[in-house]
Amino acid sequence: MRPGQYPPPGQYPPGQYPPGYYPPPGYGPVPPRGYVPVPLSPDGRPLAGFGDRLLAYIIDGLIMGAVAAVVWIPALIWWFHRFATEITTLDSSYDPSDQVPADTFRNFFLGYLALVAVLLAATLVISYIYLVEMAWRSGQTIGKRAMKLQVAPVEPGVERSRMMFVKRWAVERVAGQFVPFLIYLDGLWQLWDKPLQQCLHDKAAQTVVVKIG
């Protein structure tokens, strides 16, 4: 069969050429059997897969968790030590067999709730600094850098902005912390989102995560 001559219709399966046949100029190579095209972002770069994004999320979570633990652990130790000291100094004649006054437990409980609220706020501040201020210029956190991922705007030619990353953080971390099961729905959304494989925080910020390098 001469170059430029097509085989009879239906003689060969789609994508397979007969021996000695060469596709006309301008045709690309025939993809191998079983080849699955890589989803691309609007600017032509490959989109990040679920596994890569999950590993990057775990790495970032471990880093932020380690920083938060530096704040949480000393604060909780101090609080329980303070409560224990208050119990033992209620009265010079305090007897361990006596019932602890209800006001003591109420004050402890309310104080504990206030402490947890402060620590949760501190955790959000840590995540904001890490996920927004340290990442919006390069589009990468440490986890994304390790997995060779980058956050990019959906619309080609648009530059990354701090507000994009604020929106991502607000949905993923703030709303995800207070709305039940949202953190799981947000992360799994990319499995069925087509064609850009976005999580909910990507959709809110009009961003995608692409594979680089």
Per-residue pLDDT band at 212 (split at 50, 70, 90): very high
In 100-195, DSSP assigns E strands to 149-153
Query: Is residue 126 a contact partner of residue 182, using CB atoms and an 8 Å limit?
Result: no
* Cα distance between residue 46 and residue 54, in whole Å: 17
Given a cut of 60, whether residue 33 has pLDDT beyond it is yes
Domain residue extents for the chain: 1-29, 50-92+99-211
Q: How many CB atoms lie within 10 A of CB 58?
A: 12
pLDDT of residue 4: 47
The more confidently predicted of residues 84 and 156 is 156
Per-residue pLDDT band at 165 (split at 50, 70, 90): very high
Mean pLDDT of 111-124: 88
Query: Is residue 46 a contact partner of residue 209, using CB atoms and an 8 Å limit?
Result: no
Contacts of 24 (CB under 8 A, 6+ apart): 3, 4
On the question of a cis peptide bond just before residue 195, with omega within 30 degrees of 0, the verdict is yes
Nearest residue to 100 via CA among 83, 79, 75, 78: 83
Tokens, residue 39: 């989803």
Which tens digit of pLDDT belongs to each residue from 119-148?
899 999 999 999 999 999 999 999 999 999
